[in-house]
Chain A
């Protein structure tokens, strides 16, 4: 079983739509969580950290459910520029190891 699993998508949505997707992680001792964004043929870039209480950054909302060991990302009012692959990242704080999911691809169409 992979440490971090994501629905690969793709999620094809029209501009202005809301899209949400989850990722699950296997290590219950994981300490911190992130969403990274990766554009086609580019490097991953931090989108946002995920806090236990949930957090928003503009149109993006991240939630953490420790009991069920999943993280979610919701994008409101989708823009064409949101088209990318979103990587779920889990940090085992003890050894500073980041485990990456394979990514969820989102395509926003005009």
Chain B
């Protein structure tokens, strides 16, 4: 069975440019998460989806970040415009509610903003 798939793996952009990340969760997982992980820190939740509904976006910087999960399957996270401080690894995870919220992570997108 395929795991959580993310693309691209790496992205280098100049500040003020837009960037988008894509995630395809494990088939059948209704809950999808986007996390940001800075060096030496644990992942921090940006947004959580239950199917196509964003149920927790309290930590998403809404002035520049947006996300969508239109059909309740794959998801896109966008930053526009990017700032130097956005350099981090962006992780997508998915889980199945009935299995104790064990989350499975994708390999992440490593973003460098120059």
Q: How many residues of chain B get a CB closer than 8 Å to chain A's CBs?
A: 23
Given A42-B107, A43-B107, A43-B108, answer yes or no on A97-B42 (Cβ-Cβ < 8 Å): no
- Please choose the segment from B11-19, B63-71, B75-83, B96-104 that sits at the chain A interface, where 4 or more of its residues have CB less than 8 A away: B96-104
Contact of A97 among B41, B45, B102, B106 (CB under 8 A): B45
Set of chain B residues within 8 Å of A61, measured between Cβ atoms = none
Set of chain B residues within 8 Å of A98, measured between Cβ atoms = 33, 45, 101, 103
Q: What separation, in Å, do the CA atoms of A97 and B95 have in the docked complex?
A: 12
Set of chain A residues within 8 Å of B40, measured between Cβ atoms = 8, 102-103
Smallest CB gap from A43: residue in B:
B105
Q: What separation, in Å, do the CA atoms of A18 and B7 have in the docked complex?
A: 39
Set of chain B residues within 8 Å of A4, measured between Cβ atoms = 42
- Please choose the segment from A44-52, A63-71, A76-84 that sits at the chain B interface, where 4 or more of its residues have CB less than 8 A away: A44-52
What residues of chain A have their CB less than 8 Å away from a CB belonging to chain B? Answer: 4, 8, 32, 34, 41-46, 49, 87, 91, 93, 95-98, 100-103
29 A–B contacts, CB within 8 A, in A order: A4-B42, A32-B101, A34-B102, A41-B110, A42-B107, A43-B105, A43-B106, A43-B108, A44-B43, A44-B91, A44-B105, A46-B103, A46-B104, A49-B102, A87-B43, A93-B101, A95-B56, A96-B95, A96-B101, A97-B56, A98-B33, A98-B45, A98-B101, A100-B42, A100-B43, A100-B44, A101-B42, A102-B40, A103-B41
What residues of chain B have their CB less than 8 Å away from a CB belonging to chain A? Answer: 31, 33, 40-45, 48, 56, 91, 95, 97, 100-108, 110
